[in-house]
Amino acid sequence: MCICRNKRSEKGLSLYPLATSSIVPLDLVRGTANIGRMSNKGNSMGVIFDLDGVLVDTGWAHKQSWFDLADKEGLDMSDYLFYSTFGMQNNQIIPMLFGQEMSDDEIIPLSEWKEQRYRYLVADHLVPAQGAKELLDDLKNAGFYLAVGSSAPRANLDLVLDRVQVHDYFDALVTAEEVTKSKPAPDTFLTAAKKLSLPAHRCVVVEDAVQGVDAGKAAGMTVVAVTTTRERIALTQADKIVDSLAELKADDFAALISNPNQ
């Protein structure tokens, strides 16, 4: 949920380099097995997952790293500020934390520190969310194209996807570095759909944050919300609400795309 342009490493941390090029759909490098499927995208469907709170339960580490940053800077961080901004990028959150307008030169070092702290906290505690791998397998077997659309920096995404061994499921990745307007603006999900070569109405977004649900709806996509970080009452704009990815099958996504108003 951040703009961190991480080029430094904190002592004792193992950081992942930022990608500098666009993500090539993985089907293109897996040989010819999926050529037929890729040439018939008119009937294809896609699912775009948020990262934190959806594929992995890492909200606690983001919360702790924000409170740690506030403590380091002599500021007060609140649960309300954390939850009301969860899913947004750091260039939006940090000025709110400080209660003033700030330049990029002021924001970037603070954002880098916060994200390094997050990776340090979460590195040895990463497991896929309940039902995540089973759902990814089911979607892939059903011919869906998959993407991650996250407000996190690329270093976070690579760390998480590699550690929980789900990187190869995804045909496209979109991170904070690639969009200028973060959630609740639709840019993250529209960029993901473009990378998948799919129109918005053929994609379903899976989110846990209010900002992400709003972004998916603004993109013209059907949205499934997971109640990992927010209560159901806060996610009522979503088209479908579940408590766990284990409740979902590929058929559910196909039905949502075919009958978005069901």
Q: What is the CATH number of the domain that holds 217?
A: 3.40.50.1000
For residue 18, the SS3 value is coil
CA dist., res. 103 & res. 134, Å (int): 44
Specify whether 207 is located in the same domain as 238: yes
Q: Which helix (H) or strand (E) holds 119?
A: helix 104-122
What single DSSP character describes residue 125?
A: S
DSSP string for residues in 29-88: GSTTTTHHHHTTGGG--EEEE-SBTTTB--HHHHHHHHHHHHHHTT----HHHHHHHTTS
Let me know whether 184 and 254 are in one domain. yes
Are 205 and 220 part of one and the same domain?
A: yes
Residue that terminates a domain, selected from 75, 90, 122: 122
What is the per-residue pLDDT across 137-187, written as a single tens digit (0 to 9) for each? 999 999 999 999 999 899 999 999 999 999 999 999 999 999 989 899 999
Checking if the pLDDT of 2 tops 70, the result is no
Residues spanned by the domain of 239: 26-57+127-258
Residue 204 burial (10 A CB sphere; 0-12, 13-18, 19+): buried
Q: Are residues 31 and 64 in the same domain?
A: no
If residue 172 lies in a helix (H) or strand (E), which one and from where to where? strand 172-174
Tell me the whole-structure pTM to 2 decimals.
Answer: 0.76
Asked if residue 131 and residue 209 are part of one domain, the reply reads yes
Rg (CA), the chain: 18
Residue 170 and residue 159 share a domain: yes
Inside any domain, residue 199: yes
Residues 222 and 246 in one domain: yes
Residue 8 lies in a domain: no
Whether the per-residue pLDDT at 11 is higher than 80: the answer is: no
pLDDT, tens digit, for every residue of 225-237? 999 988 999 999 9
Q: Number of folded domains in the chain?
A: 2
Residue 29 banded pLDDT, cuts 50, 70, 90: very low
